[in-house]
Amino acid sequence: MLRKLIDESAAKSPWIYHINAGSCNGCDIELVSVLTPRYDAERCGFKLTGSPRHADIVVVSGPITVQTRDRVVRTLSQVPEPKVVVALGSCPRSGNVFKGSYSIDGPLDKYCHVDVSVAGCTPKPEAIIAGLAKAAEILKEKRKEMH
Amino acid sequence: MMQHFPILSIMVLFFGAFLNGIFGGKNAKARKIIVLASIFLSFLMVVAMTGPVMLEGQIISYWLGNWEPAMGFAFGIGLEVDAVGLFFGLIISTAVLVSGLYSFEYMSHDDALGYYYTLYLMLGGGVLGLVFSGCLFNIFVMVEIMTFSAVALTAFRNEKYGALEAAFKYLVVGSIGSTSVLVGTILLYNQTHTLNLAQIASILPSVSNGVTAVAFGFLFVGFATKAFLFPFQPLAADAHAVAPSSISVLISGVLTKTGVYGIIRLVYVLYQSMNLGPVKTLVVFIGTLSMFICVTMALAQHDFKRLLAFHSISQVGYVITAVGLSTALGVAGGLYHAMNHTLFKSLLFLTAGAVLHQTDTTNLDELGGLSKRMPKTTVLFLIGAASISGLPPFNGFASKWMIYQATFEAAAAQNNFGFALVGIIEMLTSVLTLASFIKVTQSVFFGQMPKKWENVKEVGNGMIIPMGILAALCVITGVAPSAVEKYLLAPATSAVYSVGKYINAMMGEGFAEGVSLSSETVAVDLGRSGYWNPLAWLALLGILLFGAFVAFVLLRKEAKTKESEAAEMFGSVDEKFEPFFSGERAEFSQVGGSDMFWGFKKVMRPYLDFMHDAHSGVVNDYVRWAVECLALVLLYCVLCGL
Amino acid sequence: MNIVLIILKWLFHILVFPGFLFTLCAALLLAGIDRKLVARMQNRVGPPLLQPAYDLLKLFGKEIIIPRQANKKAFLSAPAVGLASLLVTSLLLPFSASFVAVSGVADVIVVLYLLTIPAVAIIVGAASSASPFAGVGLSREMVAVMAYELPLTIVLVTVCRKAGLMMDESGMTFSLATVMQYQAEHGAMITKLSMIPAALAMLFIIPCEVGAHPFDIAEAETEICEGTLAEYSGLPLAFYELAHYVKMFILTSLFCVLFLGGFTTGVVVVDLILRLIFCVVVTFLCITVPHAVCARFKVEQVFKFYWTWVLGLALVSLLLVWLGL
């Protein structure tokens, strides 16, 4: 029964860790706006954490520059299981306008499995919430697979 | 038989020193046998005396050459062991024993060990002689023996930077202390025409005048200097930092206790002045000053042993404060803390010695992460640190708790707001003590490990066992305070107050009544000390810890560890288990010991700067401190007309 | 037979009421209410009331990562020790003048020291995790402890003196039960004019001791990556979170014992509900409001604040009580 409770609460308390992999800061601001009184993602238990060790959902924004590549991979590996990776905006999934630049080494799914991708430049807060909600569901599934 | 034990327990140590001087120079085996035999014999004899003295309440007296007092006058040299003396004797012989056992492995890198052990045995004998002596002049002689052997031992590692300098400072300022004791003795002799403690105690109340007040000042300053109390002897840190750790144990655990013992004897037995307001104020003021200022000094240190040295003054400050309250609970708390201080501070100095032995440094900024390499030392250090910071259920908590109660009770009973503030400073000091040991924990044993300590090994059993003994004693005296109270503290506290009995034991029955002193054993009521029942709490804590452990085991199965993606990306090193470093590859970067509490330091900067400048390290300045303080205390004594 | 009954009673106290189970539920409820209230004050809907429970349960199911450089034993046992000492403290707090779970040991100084153990546990855990962020965090935590401990001591001494003047012939009491008794007979401490500064000081001390928002310098997630907790994940982290909630409940409960003790009826159930209501009110005043309106302080600001303003308030109270007012 305890196990079932744990599985259930996995979806109800997803803590977010945010990595900026060379983003223009547009997506980052929109992600913060999701937690403001207007959208209030804390309703669903979302919370921003400061350390990858506490995170359930890792939100990556930006087109993965050469400089950030190793750091993104390293930080992603330091998140405890179960974890869900969310690509925020168009950059991490395609490179967006930066595609082809010498300093870009994307997209994100070269380095890890991306569970949810929220498209847009920048995505609307509603879209981000929808994506995060989807990620929380995936989190629960992953949690169930762990045992 | 028993009445010979006091002199034998001292002579065994001196005789051992003598034999070691002859046979122990070259022959390591003979040296070991001599040292072990003398410290064990002396220890056993001191322990054997607890039966009659502590349990049956006797006082063992011994006249050298059987020169007993005649016609109510003490001609000969006497030894007198009452419960206070024996209490300190027990502390001292335990510390000497442990330090001796520890020395064999610890000093194995040094040469000229023949001298080391000779001086060490003389130090032990001198200190034991001081607390057993019944004669004021012999106290001075023993003070000199222990000071000079301690000075020589401080300079023992004279290849080290600062060793000779510290020893020189100690020699000069220590001589001021000894001289002060001598002058006090001379003045008292002039007034009472005797050197016997018991006889002086019987005469003094009737001849109280200006000269005896000055003598009180001299003796008080002398013993305060021996206890390294704050304004009198600011060089304790220098001496501790360079002395071998086994000697730091003796300096901090034993030499300071002789000062405490001297002050107790002086105030309670010789002058019987514990009820005088000015004396109380003086003793409590000096104690509080040492307690608070030295703990703030300790917070600013970045050398392991210097930090411990400042703490030892701070903890002796607790003892002096508690004793100065002049209530039964205060004296008992002070004695309890004196014992505990010897136990945990010795333990901490020994762990510092273990670190020094393995890494050759005690600089907090250089060390780090040693808990992976020295796990046993780490556990022992944590026990010592928890004890000194007064965390329940270790012994420091039990004694500090008694001292707090005594302070606040005295404050309430006498409606003395100053004592209430003293109580608050005591509690604050405890927190600051905790803070500085957190600093040591973080920067020596935990935290990140610099590359150069990767090959450090744990110390051998020769060092672990003495430390283990002390750690076990710390826990035992902490969880069984009622036993300690019943068998050690109550008799000792009662002895402090039973002056008439002390006089009679020395001078013959009926002597004390002759000077209208009661020779009854004063019963002490250590009420109030019953709230804390550590065994119950240990059981509780045990249950809860067990619960937590079960939860851990059950839930550990839930979590599985997979190879991380980064391991596949970067090859061999699995970055998942490296510390999080904002995505960078982990490198050595940690808050150094000296920058630990910068929030505190920034606010307290003016005060700390002042203190830093005051501790200039120049011997002339320190002499000036000692002389000025002596002058102030003398002035105070004369003005208050003790 | 008697012994069995005593042991069963002890076990009941330890495991059910007022120990483990009750404290846990009350603490989780209090934390939930706090989060909800903060959200309402910021015009948000806020998380469900049971959100702290969800957080904990989720953390139970997460993987435990122990960093390679960490000292494994200290890393894992520190959170358990911290939580255990808090639960022991919960047994010491009286619920009314007549009901203390473990009577005779309800000692103010013991409570004071038991309350420092969780902070020490956090610090030792952080130190053993070998993370540079944890190093910064633990140094800040210790400075915070130094900051609030001085005024806290004075507040406790003030209350002890006030109650002891009337209730104890020595003029000082250290028993929390006596403090409750005094308030039952002479009215709550908060109604005495001389105790109001002390109560105010205590209200300032609670958020710092709990590590609530404007004083959460040690776990500042935006600057030092959760500081002391940076390397913790999974179950040990859940223990810390739980300790945080329990500490909130215990400190507000302590405030009720010290200052609001007079409002009791003698019926255990009613007292219990009253106590919980008081706890919520105190939490609202000293944790929720500052959380919703203040930004985080700097370390030296915290230290200065406590050693000037809060210390001053506490000292004024002590002086007034000592003068017999």
B592–chain A nearest CA distance, Å: 23
Mean predicted confidence (pLDDT) in C58-86:
81
A3 touches chain B (CB under 8 A): yes
Query: How does pLDDT run across B423-433, given as a tens digit for each residue?
Result: 889 888 988 89
For an interface test with B, the pick among A1, A19, A74 (most B C-beta atoms closer than 10 Å) comes out as A74
* Contacts with C60 from chain A: Cβ below 8 Å: 2, 6
C45–chain B nearest CA distance, Å: 33
- What's the CA gap between B309 and B307, in Å, rounded? 5
Instruction: With a cut of 80, say whether residue B229 has pLDDT above it.
Output: yes
pLDDT score, position B540: 67
C68 touches chain B (CB under 8 A): yes
Partner residue facing C161 (CB), from B401, B412, B545: B412
Share of chain B above pLDDT 90, in %: 4
Mean predicted confidence (pLDDT) in C77-98:
79
Count of beta carbons in the 10 Å neighbourhood of residue B23: 15
User: Which residue in chain A is spatially nearest to B579 when comparing CA positions?
Assistant: A78
pLDDT band at C96 (very low <50, low <70, confident <90, very high): low
- Are C231 and A146 an interchain contact pair (Cβ–Cβ within 8 Å)? no
pLDDT top residue among B57 and B529:
B57
User: Which residue in chain C is spatially nearest to A35 when comparing CA positions?
Assistant: C44
pLDDT score, position B183: 93
* C264-to-B633, C180, C251 alpha-carbon distances in Å: 55, 9, 19
pLDDT top residue among B523 and B416:
B416
With residue A84 as reference, give the H or E element that holds it.
strand A84-88
B578 touches chain A (CB under 8 A): yes
Mean predicted confidence (pLDDT) in B532-555:
66
DSSP string, C129-168: TT-HHHHHHHHHHHHHHHHHHHHHHHHHHHHHHHHHHHH-
pLDDT score, position C210: 87
Query: How does pLDDT run across A114-131, given as a tens digit for each residue?
Result: 889 988 888 889 899 999
Query: How does pLDDT run across C125-153, given as a tens digit for each residue?
Result: 888 887 888 888 888 888 888 889 889 98
Q: Which CATH architecture has domain A2-145?
A: 3-Layer(aba) Sandwich (3.40)
Instruction: With a cut of 80, say whether residue B246 has pLDDT above it.
Output: yes
User: Which residue in chain C is spatially nearest to A1 when comparing CA positions?
Assistant: C57
Those residues with Cβ within 8 angstroms of residue C255's Cβ, 6 or more apart along the chain or in another chain: C199, C202, C203, C206, C282
- Are A6 and C60 an interchain contact pair (Cβ–Cβ within 8 Å)? yes
User: Which residue in chain A is spatially nearest to C221 when comparing CA positions?
Assistant: A50
For residue C252, what are the domain limits?
Answer: 2-322
How is residue B201 written in tokens? 């105690």
Which amino acid type is present at position C158? T
Query: How does pLDDT run across C237-248, given as a tens digit for each residue?
Result: 888 888 889 999
At CA A144, angle to CA A139 and CA A147, rounded to 5? 130
- Are B555 and C112 an interchain contact pair (Cβ–Cβ within 8 Å)? no
* Contacts with A13 from chain C: Cβ below 8 Å: 51, 54-55, 57-58
- What's the CA gap between C37 and B16, in Å, rounded? 75
Region of C171 (left: φ > 0; alpha: ψ -120 to 50; beta: rest) is left
Q: Which of B98-107, B128-137, B204-213 has the lowest mean pLDDT?
A: B204-213
Query: How does pLDDT run across B348-362, given as a tens digit for each residue?
Result: 998 988 888 888 788
How is residue B518 written in tokens? 């009661």
Q: Which chains touch B (3 or more CB pairs under 8 A)?
A: A, C
Q: Which of B171-185, B216-230, B286-300, C81-95 has the lowest mean pLDDT?
A: C81-95
Domain ranges of chain A: 2-145
Quote the pTM value: 0.88
A6 touches chain B (CB under 8 A): yes
Instruction: With a cut of 80, say whether residue B537 has pLDDT above it.
Output: no
Query: How does pLDDT run across B459-496, given as a tens digit for each residue?
Result: 888 888 888 988 998 888 887 777 787 788 888 888 88
* Contacts with B540 from chain C: Cβ below 8 Å: 14, 88, 91
* Contacts with A136 from chain C: Cβ below 8 Å: none
For an interface test with C, the pick among A9, A141, A145 (most C C-beta atoms closer than 10 Å) comes out as A9
Mean pLDDT of all residues belonging to chain B: 82
Closest Cα to residue B561, out of A135, A78, C76? Answer: A78
Helices C176-186 and C132-167 pack at an angle, to 10 degrees, of 50
Owner of token pair 């390591």: B28
Note which residues in 2-21 of chain A have CB less than 8 A from chain C: 2, 5-10, 12-15
Which amino acid type is present at position B578? E
pLDDT band at B182 (very low <50, low <70, confident <90, very high): very high
Closest Cα to residue B259, out of B180, B340, B164? Answer: B180
Q: Which chains touch C (3 or more CB pairs under 8 A)?
A: A, B
Mean pLDDT of all residues belonging to chain C: 82
Mean predicted confidence (pLDDT) in B311-334:
88
Number of domains in chain C: 1
C224–chain A nearest CA distance, Å: 8
Instruction: With a cut of 60, say whether residue B571 has pLDDT above it.
Output: no
Partner residue facing C153 (CB), from B424, B540, B556: B424
pLDDT score, position A72: 86
How is residue B557 written in tokens? 């199965």
pLDDT score, position B536: 63
Distance of CA B562 to the CA centre of its chain: 52
Domain ranges of chain B: 2-517+601-640
